[in-house]
């Protein structure tokens, strides 16, 4: 049995090494040097946590949760569009916020983007994000259209 499990692990590792991995920073987004906005593995899209920065790195909606959520979703939209995807392709989001109560008040904004395709979702309140001005960060996993 141990031999069989070793073979399975080796086969999995060999297959994982054969995956097509692309690291992408789409046009219209900030161009970070320490991470990628998007990592594409075959048809899976792993989108880094997005915050309320425009493509030039300016904060949008300082102190305004709704404005920040809208900018975050616009950033996700831009990343998705770079792979001909949209929010209907999103299967999972992880949301980090400094104030769950204020975040919950943004449901109308989120519905504008997610519509009838709500993904699986995790919502976590944390003490702070990368910069004190950020109120929300959302990361996503999507499946690229074929």
Model pLDDT, residue 116: 87
Which distant-in-sequence residues (6+ apart) come within 8 Å of 109 by Cβ? Answer: 66, 69, 70, 73
CATH class label, 20-143: alpha beta
**Where does the chain show beta strands of DSSP type E?**
21-24, 38-41, 44-50, 90-97, 120-125, 136-143
Model pLDDT, residue 52: 98
Q: Are 135 and 98 in contact, with CB atoms under 8 Å apart? A: yes
Residue closest to 136 by CA, chosen among 105, 85, 107, 95: 95
Q: Give the chain's residues under pLDDT 50.
A: 7, 9-11, 14
């Amino acid at each position: 049995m141990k031999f069989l499990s070793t073979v399975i692990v080796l086969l999995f590792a060999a297959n994982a090494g054969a995956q097509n991995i692309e690291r992408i920073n789409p046009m219209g987004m900030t161009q970070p040097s320490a991470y990628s906005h998007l990592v594409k593995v075959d048809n899976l899209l792993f989108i880094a946590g997005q915050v309320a920065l425009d493509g030039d790195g300016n904060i949008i909606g300082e102190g305004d949760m709704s404005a920040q959520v809208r900018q975050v979703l616009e950033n996700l939209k831009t990343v998705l569009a770079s792979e001909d995807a949209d929010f209907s392709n999103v299967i999972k989001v992880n949301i980090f916020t400094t104030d769950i109560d204020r975040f919950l008040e943004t449901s109308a904004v989120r519905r504008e983007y997610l519509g009838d395709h709500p993904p699986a979702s995790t919502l976590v309140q944390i003490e702070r994000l990368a910069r004190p001005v950020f109120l929300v960060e959302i990361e996503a996993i999507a499946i690229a259209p074929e």
